[in-house]
Structure 1
Amino acid sequence: MNSATASSGPSSRQVSSVWEKVARTGYAVSGLIHVLLGVTIARIGLGSGGEADQSAALGQIAAAPFGAAVLWIAVVAFVGLGAWQIADALASHHESSDRAKAVGKAVLYLSLAFTAGSLVIGAGGSSGGSQDDKAQGLAAGLMGAPAGRILVGVVGLGILAGGAYHVYKGAKKKFLEDLQATPGGELGRGVRLLGTIGYIAKGVALAVVGVLFVLAAATADPAQAQGIDGAVETLLGAPGGPVVVVLVGIGFAAFGVYSFARARYAKM
């Protein structure tokens, strides 16, 4: 969404300005989650335990001093960012593919708002299960429908395509199109490097998640479907797995730091 979509009245511009600031805060909170997630993934690669998903990262925030306050900020910020993406999807100047991506992002940010809200209301209790549990539940639900295995396979291929797009976006620096400007000098080079590493690492993890969903469809076994944590465990068991997992963790943390820059420079 851009300023052309807002009313020309002063109060409407003020509301739009506040909404934009809230939405930008959503990118910053997402950055914090990715940094925590990246550290956890890297520690798993180094032999430590941990659960590598966004719910667990939010749980870490909840357990920290002033964690409840930070989670409330996360709820408001993610709702604001999700609503901004919905408004962006409804903007008439967008193509259908851009609208679909905006809707997908809106669903993601609103689900994060729900997870953060569940944690803070439950005083750090359950947020509805891990991403692996949710992935298996989704696969099991789809398999209960007519042509369920095909549906699970389609979901897997969709996630795999999303992972490939993340790798492409990082390698070709397409993420710069999401920014209204980039800082100059060393800071600008740092933003480009962090974005490249971050998008490629996320793409690798998402691609593995997609493959696991396809495997679940091929074997008619919903337990094969996994989230990011399951993808990390799969990578860990591959040749050279610990090194790859550490690199993916570094990439997730890099994406988090890039997200802090995106909060400042994103096209809105």
Structure 2
Amino acid sequence: MEDLNTQGIALPRLGLGTYRMDDRSAPAAVENALRLGYRHVDTAAMYGNETGVGAGIAAAGLPRDSLHVTTKVWYDSLTPARIRKSLDESLKKLKLDFVDLYLVHWPAPRMDLPAIFETLVHLREEGLTRAIGVCNFTVPLLRRAVDEIGAPVACNQVEYHVMLDQTPLRRYMVARSMPLIAYCPLAQGNLADSEELTAIGRKHGASAAQVALKWLLEQEGVAAIPKAQRPASQQANLDALKIVLDADDRRLIAGLPKDRRCVDPSFAPEWDKPEAA
């Protein structure tokens, strides 16, 4: 599987998302995905499944240096002491000595970005994470972190799929060789009703979801972490890598609505500030 190289780590472009798995369902799902060939597992303190994810990793029995594991600190813990405590707790639950990527899960109002990144860099220097990054940062927030503070941000994990445009954000990130990791890459299962995606899938012997996933993964600097709990779904996502889209397919996809955001909690940043347009 192709990797994206960023800030000294190799990030497999297709990963296993685990949001809405729990400690009972995660072990089997993670173990099976790793046996199928996945090498990128994404979790978070907020998901409440790190113990289960860690159990699945252990059961698969793969060498640690062959895996990429991401976890995240929740937005209510963005002080130096609480960031460190959150990572310590995550590592204990995962039963790992380090993670490969540690992310700020959501930006918070009035957060102290310099202090946050100073803490994250210290954690990286101590070997508790190999790289650091962010989730749900807009272009203005990335400018503050990267251009003003000079933080070594390895990625930005955001919602991205065929029905949500992220062109301004992608343009900024590509210019800085910063991968975009797409969560909700299948629009939370809302693609099956798309006549256009279904037609493209029929042409390629694939599903609408597989077409949408391949469309993401062929873009420069984009990785994706679809949640897939069932073995059949995990395999289907791997099989999406084999699809070869053509110019007609991309034209149909370009004509789909591009304003369908699935994740927009009350604490989300202002997505559509003029600076990000």
Fold shared by both chains (TM-score > 0.5): no
Which category describes the TM-score, using the shorter chain as reference length?
A: under 0.3
- Which structure has more relative contact order (CA 8 Å, sep 6+)? It is 1
TM-score of the pair, normalised by structure 2: 0.24
Structure 1 or 2: larger strand share?
A: 2
Q: Report the TM-score when normalising by structure 1.
A: 0.25
